[in-house]
Chains A and B, each alone.
Chain A
Amino acid sequence: MKKEDERARQEFASEAEELLEALSSGVVELESQGSEVRPDLVNKIFREVHSLKGLAGMLGFTDIAELSHNLEDMLDKLRMGKIPINRDLIDVLFDSVDSLNRLLLSLGDSEIEGLVDVPKLTSRIHALSNRQEHDVEERLLDEIDLDEQTRRSLTEYEEHRLRENLRKKKKILSIELDFDFATFDERLRAATGALNETGELISTLPALDPSGAGDGISFRLLYGTEAEIEEIAAKLDPAARIRSLRKQEESEAEPVAADAASEGGIDDEISLRSVSRTVRVDIGRLDGVMNIVGELIVEKTHLEALTRAVGAQQERISPQEIAKIARNFDRKLSDLQRSVIEIRMVPVGQIYSKLSRTVRKIARELGKEIELTLRGEETELDKMMVEELSDPLMHIIRNAIDHGIEAPDVRQKAGKSSVGRVTLDAYQKGNSVVLDVRDDGRGIDVEGVRKTAVARKLIDPKESIDLSRAIELLFTPGFSTAAAVSEISGRGVGLDVAKRNIQELKGTIEVISDAGRGTTFRISLPITLAIIQALLVRSGEDTYAIPLTSVEESLRIRPEEIRTVEGREVFNLRDRAIPLLRLADAFASRGVTDREKYFVVITRSGDRQIGLVVDSLVRQQEIVIKSIGERLKKMPGIAGATEIGENEIVLVVDVGSLIEHFGSEARGARRKSQKAEGRRQK
């Protein structure tokens, strides 16, 4: 790049950055105003985009110029009241800001170029710009993913019924049924009769039978109901294809957008994560926080009064009085903490619609028919975790479609429906949120995994493996490389990355395989990362915090209860040998002495257990995990640091990585060194 070009680029970049920053905060504000948007705010956003367009156009940055030009058109219509403000529009604005930022970054980095699909975004913007002012009725239909043919075949009355169902917040299901031509009328009448008991049949669209043999006929029913999908499925033929058409709250409602997105390449993966760092909060929750703050102020006043009294030495202050204030403070602060955690919570359903779009695309690319069922969208999780979760979740779902679900002909031979089912189920379990990704495919193919592992030089060709070793291999770096992923994403990312992402969220992945019937990937996550309950333990002179979510139980043992089996220490817990790890060895604790008794903290990560041997248990405490420096970060078994009381900093144990690092020591030296190698690559 020539010198003057470079200078122009830099000048442009810094000015554009400022404009984008302003634009971004404008959009955030726009979102927070709901449907009552201040006209001057729209005008301000419009002007910023207008300036950006002018600037980029002048300097010949065509992508930025084109994108901002289209945005400007849309915003112009918005400020003139020609198009409505809605979720789609806000989404497009956020995505545009994100894309413009990326384009701006790419000015200096050719690698990022191509990550932004300008035509795709442009077509979404056009779709919004060209939509005339919708009335409320029209927008109702945008809440569902209705295919074009069904939509066009609705009579005015049926459309009215559909709207009524939407207005009443009923589920809208698409039910596809296949019949023999000879008997379809009786069987369909039986089905619709059953359906009418629990909801309203809105339309019945006949279609060619999918086999094309000519002796069958299919029907696509549009059905409004309050019943659960499972309940409806139970009434119908097991081969019925049922899916909910209602989009998630955060969805990109435009069908055009869905199509465009599915054609897009690499960008889809990036767009899974939303740009917004904003959390919408129920005003009631904020009121709660406000009340607690008010109470804290009262306590502070007490404290001040006491301080004055001490200063004037008017009276003796009893320690009890101070202790009481401290207790009140403590109580109020934990209330406050809880409230703030609640505020950070968002439903995981926020990422569901994006997941289903990507699933459609992957299924199409792989020539597989997939029915995705998403459940538990109301399950709440920390906002930042939901964000971080979408990528690993997508990898696991992709893996299920790619490797779990068999090709349609294989499935039919096995007596299964040609349509593969993938279910994502989110639910809360104690202090954790669990996400199950279940497929009805072939289960883990141990022999197939072994062959791949041999081909990738991860194991010795002579080594025979069992299911649990196969699962371990699935998550080994280098296992899923090009051949496994290239057709889909073209990127060398595999389950190992997904696992690492989950571990960074202090979560675990467990795999449950049922040969021939399917596989479940179970992700367990703490509800929030910010504050956790931990068990403080002492080893030598050092104190460590073990997250309580990983702790199963703790007990006292005498040194003679520790046995050595195959070169590693174990002890028997209710007739089961639990491998032991002395925390002092793992972290090279200072001041370790032999003792007459030890404590064992039984910890679990996924399906693996390990007993951590410590000198003593200190107490249970809520801790706030702080991240630590790069050097300590690389240390296996450490999640971070936390401050407990008076300036005392202790390390927080990461049980998952601890087990991974030390858990298989007894497996033999060769594999150990290989594992260590793998970890270094991470």
Chain B
Amino acid sequence: MRSMLTNIIESETEELDLEIVEASSGFEALKILPHHQFDAVVTDINMPDINGLELVSFLKNHPSYRSIPVMVVSTESTSEDRRRAAALGAEDYLVKPFDPAELVAKLRKLLA
């Protein structure tokens, strides 16, 4: 089942013509990584198995994934975690709830 976030991203980024692959957990994210050529990763911070920071840390220390831009999505209350994600090398962040227009703008910038 696709999450709401995925649906939102897909509908809001129609104009960008993106193919979205969804992972419902940290492990799943790790598993699908080698099977696709990702142009960007959008990740939540709180998720099952491994959290978003751990995923960012993995990506940014991996020779094959290092250059994929990462955007973390989190709630307002976890601003400290956003700061940590940035320290680990995440390129951008988005605060839930977010304005879809903002998402599109940020993704556009990431993909540029």
List the interface of chain A (C-beta within 8 A of B). Answer: 149, 152-158, 181, 184-185, 188-189, 203-208, 217
Contacts and interface: CB of A to CB of B under 8 A. Distances in A.
A208 to B, nearest CB: 6
Given A153-B84, A156-B81, 10 more contacts: A149-B57, A149-B61, A152-B87, A153-B53, A156-B84, A181-B34, A184-B30, A189-B49, A205-B50, A205-B57
B55 to A, nearest CB: 8
A217 to B, nearest CB: 7
Given A181-B34, A185-B31, A217-B30, A155 B45 contact: yes
B84 A204 contact: no
A206 B58 contact: yes
A156 B27 contact: no
6 contacts: A149-B61, A155-B51, A155-B84, A156-B81, A188-B27, A203-B51
A152 B57 contact: yes
B45 to A, nearest CB: 6
Interface in B43-73: 45-46, 49-58, 61-63
B88 A205 contact: no
A204 B50 CA distance: 6
B80 A204 contact: no
Contacts of A149: 57, 61
A204 B61 contact: no
Contacts of A185: 27-28, 30-31, 49
A184 B61 CA distance: 19
B78 A156 contact: yes
Interface of B: 26-28, 30-31, 34, 45-46, 49-58, 61-63, 78, 80-81, 84, 87-88
Contacts of B63: 208
Contact of B30 (A152, A158, A206): A206
Most chain A CB neighbours (cut-off 10 Å) among B26, B34, B53, B80: B53
A133 to B, nearest CB: 19
Contact of B54 (A189, A206, A208, A217): A206
A203 B54 contact: yes
Contacts of B26: 204, 206
A200 to B, nearest CB: 15
Nearest to A181: B34
Most chain B CB neighbours (cut-off 10 Å) among A152, A153, A158, A188: A153
A152 B61 CA distance: 13
Contacts of A206: 26, 30, 50, 54-55, 58
Nearest to A158: B51
A203 B51 CA distance: 8
A149 B57 CA distance: 8
Contacts of B87: 152
A350 to B, nearest CB: 35
Nearest to B51: A155
A162 B38 CA distance: 33
Given A154-B53, A156-B81, A205 B58 contact: yes
Contacts of B31: 185
Listed from nearest, the 9 A-B pairs whose CB atoms lie closest are: A153-B57, A185-B27, A206-B58, A156-B80, A153-B53, A204-B50, A153-B54, A155-B81, A205-B54
B61 A155 contact: no
Contact of B61 (A157, A188, A189, A208): A208
B63 to A, nearest CB: 8
A347 to B, nearest CB: 36
A181 B33 CA distance: 11
Contacts of B55: 206
Contacts of A154: 53, 84
A208 B31 CA distance: 13
A207 B58 CA distance: 6
B54 A204 contact: yes
A208 B27 contact: no
A184 B28 CA distance: 11
Given A207-B58, A208-B61, A152 B84 contact: yes
A204 B51 CA distance: 8
Nearest to B31: A185
Contacts of A155: 45-46, 51-53, 78, 81, 84
A185 B45 CA distance: 19
A188 B27 CA distance: 10
A153 B30 contact: no
Nearest to B81: A155
Contacts of B50: 204-206
Contacts of A188: 27
B112 to A, nearest CB: 27
B37 to A, nearest CB: 16
Contacts of B49: 185, 189, 204
Nearest to B80: A156
B54 A152 contact: no
Contacts of B27: 184-185, 188-189
Contacts of B88: 152-153
Contacts of A158: 51
B41 to A, nearest CB: 14
A206 B54 CA distance: 7
A189 B30 CA distance: 14
Contacts of B51: 155, 158, 203
Nearest to A204: B50
Nearest to A182: B31
A208 B66 CA distance: 12
Contacts of B62: 208
A181 B16 CA distance: 32
A208 B61 CA distance: 8
Contacts of A205: 50, 54, 57-58
Contacts of A217: 30
A207 B61 contact: yes
B21 to A, nearest CB: 17
Contacts of B81: 155-156
B13 to A, nearest CB: 27
A152 B53 CA distance: 8
B38 to A, nearest CB: 16
A86 B60 CA distance: 35
Contacts of A181: 34
Most chain B CB neighbours (cut-off 10 Å) among A155, A158, A203, A217: A155
A205 B87 CA distance: 16
